[in-house]
Amino acid sequence: MRIENGRVIYETEPCVWCHGDKTVKDIGPCPRDGKNQHGQPCPYCGRTRKPHVIYDSGRVLPCRHCNARGFTPETRYSWVSEELWQSLVFCVYRSQRAQTLNERLYGFGCCWTTTDYGTYQKLTDAELIEKVRTNVSRPQACHVVDETDRLPNHIGIICNREGYVVKAVHLRTSVGTRKSATGPSARPSESWPFPRMALHQTGSRGKRERRR
């Protein structure tokens, strides 16, 4: 996975089955699964009671997932590499609004969401950016690039009272034209690329709150 003219070019990645070894162990369900051993150990998995576990026959077979090549083509659903993730621009958007249902439970349209009940507020913008940049949990490429595999202007860290959301921000002035990134010191009052976010806040009785 590399960057070329602002777009992600998919290459190859190690096979997720054999991890590049081209071979896998012959592991499968126990042949005597579902049969009662009457207290005697199973000759395949060693279990004396049902259910029988997956057993290893000791044989080594060519990997069927990559056809014994050790690699597979990358797709939009491959994990973003560490080098690509750390090369992006990160911006913090602080606010004290309530956390939405999507941010709390689902995380649709986001790289990931974090609920730490306001612990992040002890961190400065630079510390929060470094925490997100060096996070071991990197997103899939489909959560970072747009429909044309173009990289975002920046990665927004959208804060709320209970936590924060990491989301790719794509800004465009017209078709094929992109705005420049707002920079790490951007504030919600200066540049807030999420105008509909406040419309999805819910009150204590589950009703939609009005923006003041």
Does residue 185 form part of some domain? yes
How far is Cα 115 from Cα 111, in angstroms, rounded to an integer? 14
Does residue 12 form part of some domain? no
Q: How far apart are the first and last CA of the chain?
A: 45
Higher pLDDT, 70 or 36: 70
Does residue 171 form part of some domain? yes
Partners of residue 14 on adjacent β-strands: 71
Higher pLDDT, 84 or 178: 84
Angstrom distances, CA of residue 63 to CA of 19, 57, 70, 155: 10, 16, 8, 37
- As a whole-number percent, the residues of the chain with pLDDT over 90 amount to 46
Does residue 66 form part of some domain? no
Element (H, E) at 124: none
HEC assignment per residue over 159-170: ECCCEEEEEEEC
* DSSP output for 66-122: TTTSSEEE--TTSBPPHHHHHTS-EEEE---PPPPHIIIII-TTSSEEEE-TTGGGG
Exposed, middle or buried: residue 206 (CB in 10 Å: 0-12, 13-18, 19+)? exposed
Specify the pLDDT at position 205: 40
Residue-range definition of the domain harbouring residue 172:
78-200
Banded model confidence at residue 91, pLDDT cuts 50, 70, 90: very high
Q: What is the mean pLDDT of residues 115-141?
A: 91
How far is Cα 11 from Cα 33, in angstroms, rounded to an integer? 41
For the cut 70, the answer to whether the pLDDT of residue 190 exceeds it is: no
Longest dimension (CA), the chain: 74
Does residue 167 form part of some domain? yes
User: Mean of the per-residue pLDDT values for the chain?
Assistant: 79
Coil, strand or helix at 55: strand
Does residue 3 form part of some domain? no
Q: How many domains does the chain have?
A: 1
* C-beta of residue 152 within 8 angstroms of C-beta of residue 88: yes
Coil, strand or helix at 47: coil
* C-beta of residue 51 within 8 angstroms of C-beta of residue 42: no
Higher pLDDT, 75 or 180: 75
Angstrom distances, CA of residue 13 to CA of 23, 38, 48, 75, 139: 16, 47, 41, 10, 15
Specify the pLDDT at position 193: 52
Does residue 145 form part of some domain? yes
Does residue 31 form part of some domain? no
Specify the pLDDT at position 129: 94
